[in-house]
Structure 1
């Protein structure tokens, strides 16, 4: 992020976006979309976040496109956060972890989004494999969707919210790591003042919501406070809507990165 700018760009090839690019909602359209985004931005964007579901909906051929997209992005030196939001128990969670966090997998990514709502301990297979592989996790903690509050703001018997509990677990995972640990939280940039939560988990904070969801770069300091320098701001539609023109994609990504850098520095 220091070298390339503080920006994560989503790769979200949903049907409406493919249509706006003049592409068909099929495998050739998916391939063209993904290749264009990677070729336009891979040498200048710090992080890509492919949304696995938009590839999986095409079956095995769509997953093959996702494999190629991950390989091309990582070959260009861009970090890949696989947005798959996996969450299960035991051997099933271990299998999900191997899919995305094992270096021998064609879908090996630098980090994976995971859901802790079968209990944080259910993530242990992913935590352990991430440690062995030099990868990381982004755990859903305080998400930008309004429905998330039903679970994440619920109060436990000890008086802590579920979201705060997840942040506490992540802080424990990252204890002693320098400059920070590899176990991050997903915290929405649209949530307003989060000063009641301890966001200092010594790890990265993946922040969706900038652009189409209404948050701006200028909102980041107020939302994240002293933890703002650990934020990985994600923009998807705000950048992707400028395709398929590669120059327009690059210009949009550069503009967002400049705005974020200025806001965080201030």
Structure 2
């Protein structure tokens, strides 16, 4: 099944477009959590794995997808990557669609190697095996078509997805993305090229396996890009802690509540740090995480067409 169709089906099944971002930071783990593990790098990596799996046990029944930010695992070296791999496997065992947020990019055989690593298979003896079981990856378009087509080619072959950075949610995004060339800001050029990269890769849902990362923190541009890119799935970061609201995100959805998935990382995985949830769930950090997910689902349902997924 085309990746876009898989994602749309999962959103319909869970009746919401929420993506939980798993970005574990040792210093923000629940009180006493880190003390259960040895005080070396392997111990910290084991704690990250345990925490991520505990989060997944709460959120996987509620949301269609989860997103792993690889940097927080890579920081702990080989042990950290092993923890990431094990947590991804746990996510797949719980039925979640897995997005790998690595923002990879290169050209030629190197881009092909990245694509095979995260979306495809590599030769092992006389067979081919997938190193990772990610369903989609984020990619940086800065190097142009040479850096994107290997990912799209492998994704199409393996029924996976690619999310291209178009309009990111960070404060300094304007430094480059708003530069005007040939009468249009750079992010509009990327959006137009993305439509070319996705040509021929739409699924039965009408959405494409090549998606766009478009931040909630720039609502005017989000609405503009939604109109310019029909049939393109949006991965929307920036909701919650970064300042994006459900009303800001509303234009990203079609009339059926489809077309976008909305990421929330710190606001969910570290929900137990929020005073009202800490008071509501004393000594029960997973309860706080679950409530944060339910609150986000309700917020999107009340303020966007994603509420129609409940009909």
Q: Which one is further off, 134-143 or 190-199?
A: 190-199
The unaligned stretches of length 5 or more in structure 2 are: 1-10, 36-40, 122-128, 273-283
Q: Map of 1:66-215 to 2, 5 A cutoff?
A: 66-103=84-121, 104-156=129-181, 158-175=182-199, 177=202, 178-179=204-205, 180-194=207-221, 195-197=223-225, 198-215=227-244
Judging changes above 3 Å, is the alpha-carbon distance between structure 1 residues 98 and 21 closer, same or farther for their aligned structure 2 residues?
Answer: farther
- Tell me how far apart the structure 2 counterparts of residues 106 and 65 of structure 1 sit (CA, whole Å): 14
Structure 1 segments, 4+ long, off by >6 Å, are none
Q: What root-mean-square deviation, in Å, do the aligned CA atoms of Structure 1 and Structure 2 show?
A: 2.2
Question: 1:39-96 CA distances to partner (integer Å, 9 max, x unpaired)?
Answer: 1111221110000011111111111111111111112211011000001111111111
Secondary structure at 1:48's aligned position in 2?
strand
User: Which entry has the higher C-alpha Rg, 1 or 2?
Assistant: 2
TM-score (norm 1): 0.91
Secondary structure at 1:35's aligned position in 2?
helix
Question: 1:144-181 CA distances to partner (integer Å, 9 max, x unpaired)?
Answer: 1122222211222x323221122112223444623211
The unaligned stretches of length 5 or more in structure 1 are: none
Residue 240 of structure 1 is matched in structure 2 by 269
**When the two structures are aligned, how many residues end up with a matched partner?**
264
* Kept after mapping to 2: 8 A contact 1:102/1:133: yes
Shift of 1:16: 3.3
Shift of 1:19: 6.1
Question: 1:23-42 CA distances to partner (integer Å, 9 max, x unpaired)?
Answer: 36812321221111111111
TM-score (norm 2): 0.78
- Tell me how far apart the structure 2 counterparts of residues 212 and 253 of structure 1 sit (CA, whole Å): 14
Q: 1:60 aligns with which of 74, 78, 84?
A: 78
